[in-house]
Amino acid sequence: VYPCHEVVKMDYFIPGCPPDADAILTVLDDLIHGRPVALPRSLNHYD
């Protein structure tokens, strides 16, 4: 068993298991609108 990033080249990583719905929406919205992908700290932490 290998992590996905060791088998397939990943362009983006959304943390979480499963990732938070707001984080997914933020990344997709940035990609669709041609903006740089950046998750705010509120969506990118584990505490």
Q: Which candidate, 3, 15, 2, places its Cα nearest to that of 26?
A: 15
pLDDT for the residue numbered 47: 63
| Beta strand extents in 1-47 (DSSP E only) | none
* Per-domain boundaries in the chain: 4-43
> What's the rounded Cα separation, in Å, for the pair 22 and 42?
10
- Distance from CA of residue 28 to its chain's centroid? 9
Residue 46 pLDDT: 67
* CA 1/CA 19 separation, integer angstroms: 21
pLDDT tens sequence across 1-46: 998 889 999 998 888 888 889 889 999 999 999 999 988 888 776 6
Residue 43: other Cβ atoms inside 10 A: 19
